Structure 1
Amino acid sequence: MSIIPDITHGADDIVLPFHVDELDLRGRVVRLGHSVTTMIDRHGYPPEVSRLLAEATALTMLLASGLKFDGRLILQTQTDGPVRMLVVDVSTPDKVRALARFDESRLEAARLVGDNDPARLLGKGQLVMTIDQGQDMQRYQGIVALEGQGLEEAAHQYFQQSEQIDTRVRLAAAEEVVPGENGPHRAWRAGGMMVQHLPEAGSHIHRDLPPGDAPEGTTTPDPDDAWLEARALADTVEDDELVDRTLSPERLLYRLFHERGVRVMDAMRVHEHCTCNRDRIEKIVQSFTAEERRDMVENGAITVTCEYCSTSYKFAPSEFDPVE
C-alpha cells in the first residue's frame, strides 16, 4: 500500500503531479485560492462569470504545468452566450492572469429564469488553445467548437483532436466565506484533476513481476482495461473534493488510487501575475500614429488601463509628440 506524505495540506495555488504506474497513468491536481480570488475581486465579476473564469483558470494551469519549455499558454473562448469571452494567460511555469467579458442584460435574463448552467452561459462558438514558445518558434493553436458543452467536455475534445491521448478532466469552482482581520469575507476556490493514459512500450509484457508499491497480489491490467479503470475512478471525484481546503491533493489521490499504488512529485506553485509594465505599454502607444494618439488624449493625458490587472498608465502627449 502506498504511503503519500501530506506535504500540501492546507496549501492553495499549487499543481501536484502524480503517477499511477500500474495503470500507466500520469496526471496533475490543481488547487487555486488566492490567485483566482484576486483576479475575480479586481473586476467584481458576478458569481456566474466568476465560476466560469475560475474553472477556466484551473483548466489552463493543468495544461500549462505539463509544458517542458518557457513560454505561454493562452486559453480563450469566443461565444454567443451571456459570457462571451474568457481569457486565461499562463507564462510558464507559474504565472497566471485572466479576464472575462459578459453581457449583463443577458446574464440577468438567465437569472430570472433560473438558468445558471455554465454550458448555456458560454453558448456556442469556439475555444482556442494557443501555445507560444517565443519569437523564434511558430505558434501552435488548437481549436474546439463549443456547441453547448462545458469546459470539461471541451477539454476532452481538445485532447482527442490535437493530442490523441486518452485524457479525463474534472473541474470545479466554489465561493466560500472565510474569516479575516476585518471580519468574514467571500472568496473563490477552484480545483481540477487531469489524468492521462500514457503506456510505455513493453510496460505490460512481464506480467509475473511484482506491481511496484501496489498491495501484494495486485495484477497488472491490460492497457484498455487500465484506462477504463482509471477513467472510472476519476469520474467518482465530487466537485466538493476538488475544492475542499481540508482535503489535501495527496489524500484525494490516495482515496482514488491507493489500491494500485500512487506516487506524487514535487508540487509547483501558482502565482497571479500580470506581465504588463510601463515600458511595454509605452511601446504600444508609440505604435499608433500621431493623429491616433491625439484622439487618445483626455484631460491632458493619454491613459491606458490594463484589461487584466486594471493598472492604469498615464503618459503626457509630449512624451510621444513633442510640442513644436
Structure 2
Amino acid sequence: MSLGTKIAWDDTVLPFQLDASDIRGRVARLDGVLEQVLKQHNYPAMIEGLVAEMALLTALIGQTMKLRWKLSLQVRGDGPARLIATDYYGPTEDGAPARIRAYASYDAETLDQTADPFSQIGKGYFAILIDQGQDMAPYQGITPIAGGSLSACAETYFAQSEQLPTRFQLTHGLSQLPGEGTHWRAGGVMLQHMPKASPHVTGEGGSGEDGLLDATDILDAEEGENWIRANVLLDTVDEIELIGPSVAPTDLLVRLFHEEQPRVYDAQPVKFGCSCSEDAVRQSLSIYSAKDIGTMTTEEGTVTADCQFCGAHYTFKPETLGFEATDTGA
C-alpha cells in the first residue's frame, strides 16, 4: 500500500478495558508490517496464512511488553509445517514503535496444500518466551498444541500456564483497494480477564482438550457471566470490521461493547524490524574453536550466514571468528 493511502490505524495495537466486566483487551490492525514479514520469503499460501495469524497474535500479546523487552512465540510440530517463530521487540523509548519479525520452516514435499493449514502442524507445542534484558532470567511457558487454530493454542496457553481466561477473534487475508495491487491485511481482538490473586480452579484437570484448563474453569459464577457476555458480544463481529479498512478500532469497540463501558488507552504503533547484525552473528559464533570454524568455511575461503527472518546475508573471514580468532575483522 502506498503512503498516500495508508490508513491511520494500520499497524497499531489499541489497548482497552471493559469497566463493567473487569476485562481488558486489545484491537490490532496489521498492514505494512505483514507485507514486510511475508515478502522476505516465497511461502506457499497456507504457510503465509499461518505466519500472518502468528504475527497478529504476537502483536496482540506483545503490546504489554515494557521498553526493550522481547517476546517470542513459537509453534513446533511434527507435521510438514515444522516451525513458526515470531519475535516482538518492545519500544526502545516511550512513543517509539515496537518491532515484529516472523519466520516459518516447512517441508514443501509433504505439505498438503488442499488440507486445513493448521492440520499441517501436527502434534507439538506452543511456547512463549519473555526476555527482560541483561542480567534477568528469561521466562518460558509451554503448552501442547490444542484446538483447531493458532489462536486456540494461545488461548489454551493463557488458561493453562497463566490461569488467565483469554479469547482471540482474528482474521487475515489478501486485500485490494481500487487502483492498487493486492496486499496482506490482518486484524483481531483479544479479550482477557483481569488477573486474580487466587484463580478459582476446582477438580483435577480442566474441561479443555486432553484435560487442559479452559477459561470457564478458572472463573467463579459472576466472573463467568461477565466473561460469557463479553464473548457473545465479540461473536457478533464481522470479518470486514476486524480487518478494518473503513472501521476505526474505537468505532469497533463502541459497536461491540458500548454497554460494557469500554475505556481506551494510547495505541502502540508496530513495524517490521529485525535484530540481526554482523556483530550478533560474530557473537553467536564466538563459542566455536578454529577447527569448528574450519568446518563452516566454504571453498571460497569464507564463512557465510543468512538471517532466517529478514534474509540478510553476511560474509566473514574465518580467522576473524571464534574464540581463537587471530584477526579483529577490521
Length-normalised TM-score, structure 1: 0.82
Give the match for residue 119 of structure 1.
Answer: 118
Letter in 1 for 2:100: V
Q: Which moved more, 1:45-54 or 1:257-266?
A: 257-266
Give the match for residue 173 of structure 2.
Answer: 174
Higher relative contact order (CA 8 A, sep 6+): 1
Between the aligned partners of 2:291 and 2:127, the Cα distance in structure 1 is: 34
- CA gap of 1:283–1:233, structure 2 versus 1, over 3 A, is same
Work out whether residues 50 and 118 of structure 2, in 8 Å CA contact, stay in contact via their aligned partners in 1: no
Give the match for residue 164 of structure 1.
Answer: 163
Work out whether residues 71 and 132 of structure 1, in 8 Å CA contact, stay in contact via their aligned partners in 2: yes
2:182 to 158, 179, 186: 186
Question: Do structure 1's residue 316 and structure 2's residue 328 form an aligned pair?
Answer: no
Question: Do structure 1's residue 198 and structure 2's residue 202 form an aligned pair?
Answer: no
The gaps in structure 2 that reach 5 residues or longer are 1-5, 92-97, 198-220
- CA gap of 1:315–1:252, structure 2 versus 1, over 3 A, is same
- CA gap of 1:288–1:158, structure 2 versus 1, over 3 A, is same
SS of residue matched to 1:245: coil
Q: 1:159 deviation in Å?
A: 1.3
Q: 1:177 deviation in Å?
A: 3.3
Number of residue pairs the alignment of both structures matches: 289
1:83 to 78, 81, 84: 81
Give the match for residue 144 of structure 1.
Answer: 143
The gaps in structure 1 that reach 5 residues or longer are 1-7, 202-220
Deviations 1:152-203 (A, max 9, x none): 21111111112212221112211123577xxx433211222111222889xx
Deviations 1:207-233 (A, max 9, x none): xxxxxxxxxxxxxx9543222211111
Deviations 1:44-100 (A, max 9, x none): 111111111111111112111123453211101110222110000111141111100
Between the aligned partners of 1:200 and 1:129, the Cα distance in structure 2 is: 21
Work out whether residues 36 and 189 of structure 1, in 8 Å CA contact, stay in contact via their aligned partners in 2: yes
Length-normalised TM-score, structure 2: 0.81
Work out whether residues 29 and 194 of structure 1, in 8 Å CA contact, stay in contact via their aligned partners in 2: yes
Work out whether residues 17 and 264 of structure 2, in 8 Å CA contact, stay in contact via their aligned partners in 1: yes
Give the match for residue 250 of structure 2.
Answer: 250
Between the aligned partners of 2:162 and 2:288, the Cα distance in structure 1 is: 39
* Equivalent residue runs for 1:53-72 within 5 Å: 53-68=51-66, 70-72=68-70
Work out whether residues 69 and 133 of structure 1, in 8 Å CA contact, stay in contact via their aligned partners in 2: no
Between the aligned partners of 1:22 and 1:238, the Cα distance in structure 2 is: 23
Work out whether residues 10 and 245 of structure 1, in 8 Å CA contact, stay in contact via their aligned partners in 2: no
* Equivalent residue runs for 1:198-237 within 5 Å: 198=194, 222-237=222-237
Letter in 1 for 2:290: A
Between the aligned partners of 1:148 and 1:258, the Cα distance in structure 2 is: 30
Between the aligned partners of 1:100 and 1:141, the Cα distance in structure 2 is: 20
Between the aligned partners of 1:42 and 1:119, the Cα distance in structure 2 is: 22
